[in-house]
Amino acid sequence: MQNKVKSKMKVIFFGTPKIGATILESLVTNPEVEVQLVVTQPDKKEGRKLRLTSSPVKEMALKYGLPVLQPTKVATIIPELTALKPDFLITCAFGQFLPPKVLQIPQIEPLNLHGSLLPAYRGGAPIQMAIWNGDTETGMSLMRMVKGMDAGPYFAQAKLTIKPDINSEELFSEMADLGSVLLKENLKMIFEGKIDPLDQIESLVTFAPILKSEQEHLNWNNTTRNLHNQIRALSPQPGAWTTYKEQRYKILKTTALENCKNKIKTVIPGTILEINKKGITVATQDGQLQILVIQKAGKNPTPAGIFGLNAFQIGGKFI
């Protein structure tokens, strides 16, 4: 596609959650960019009162007075997108696949900010899976969108160290800032044709599909490190959970006590070994995990030690 000299780069942005809202604001505040339109998911009912709630991207768009479309299927708004003649379509965590006809609309490129160092972790949960797998490094990829899921070549990448106890919400925030910088540093060069994208090495591809509800249940017959990583990856939402006397509890923050071996070799994983003001210590397959923050179903998160003194018994078992 041939570009022309223009005062600003014209962008249609697609996104839905907080990470997308951060990227959108970075585009809006870039003096070289004109955000023509924002596309996000339809409002949905949330919470116990099922209030109709707008996405963070929609809220950000309204803050800056930008027009917003919320199609259930992007194909239904192709005429509106085409009429704007954008230079770029840019997506970040939108939540819908863009059909090939939509990818052909921009004058320059259809771009996606993906939350991994491609070709690692193609799919809908790359940030969570990097934590779950205990990775020490991740990053953002600025890529060309193609028909295949996250299969296009990438123009640029930026790396980020994963802190040992960071949870997914915190890492999403850091990745949003990283992606904003990556986009600002490279968008103009892509517009001017100064960057050639690199093809992904297919033999190195791994996947991170959208998480399923059954993955939220904690299996205490697992290693301390694996349980700790699972909890971090799912915190604060949707939250890893366990049960005690048929009551469900979300476990939102833990400390891995990897040097603490169970003194009683026959102790069953999931058994409560100690309750104090610091937290609740639970037996795992190879050691102990201390629960720091817990949430009973329908209640707010609370420090586990204070809550546990009244709710649980030493020797009791999480399932």
**Residue 3 or 313, more confident:** 313
d(CA 16, CA 42): 9
As a whole number of angstroms, the distance between CA 311 and CA 319 comes to 15
What's the pLDDT tens digit per position in 272-319? 999 999 999 999 999 999 999 999 999 999 999 999 999 999 999 999
Gap between the Cα atoms of 59 and 121, Å rounded: 29
For residue 309, which phi and psi values (nearest 5 degrees)?
A: -60, -30
What is the DSSP code string of 223-256?
-HHHHHHHHHHHTTTT-EEEEETTEEEEEEEEEE
Structural contact between residues 175 and 92, judged by C-beta atoms closer than 8 angstroms: no
Instruction: Say whether pLDDT at 3 is over 80.
Output: no
Q: Determine what percent of the chain is predicted with pLDDT higher than 90.
A: 92
User: pLDDT tens digits for 56-95?
Assistant: 999 999 999 999 999 999 999 999 999 999 999 999 999 9
pLDDT at residue number 1: 44
**7 — pLDDT class (breaks 50, 70, 90):** confident
pLDDT at 4: 47
Quick check: 108 and 191 in contact, CB under 8 A? yes
Q: Which residue has the tokens 């006590």?
A: 257
Q: Answer yes or no: is 116 a known binding residue.
A: yes
| Mean pLDDT of all residues belonging to the chain | 95
Confidence band (pLDDT; 50, 70, 90) for 6? low
Q: How far apart are CA 14 and CA 239, in angstroms?
A: 26
pLDDT at 147 over 90: yes
Grade residue 262 by pLDDT with cuts at 50, 70 and 90. Answer: low
**209 assigned binding-site residue:** no
Question: pLDDT tens digits, residue range 108-123?
Answer: 999 999 999 999 999 9
**C-alpha triplet 147, 153, 157: angle, nearest 5°:** 130
Record the tokens describing residue 293, joined without a space.
């923050």
Identify the structural domains of the chain with CATH numbers, from first to last.
9-204 (3.40.50.170), 213-311 (3.10.25.10)
Comparing C-alpha atoms, which of 129, 80, 90, 131 is closest to residue 111? 90
Output the pLDDT for position 261. 65
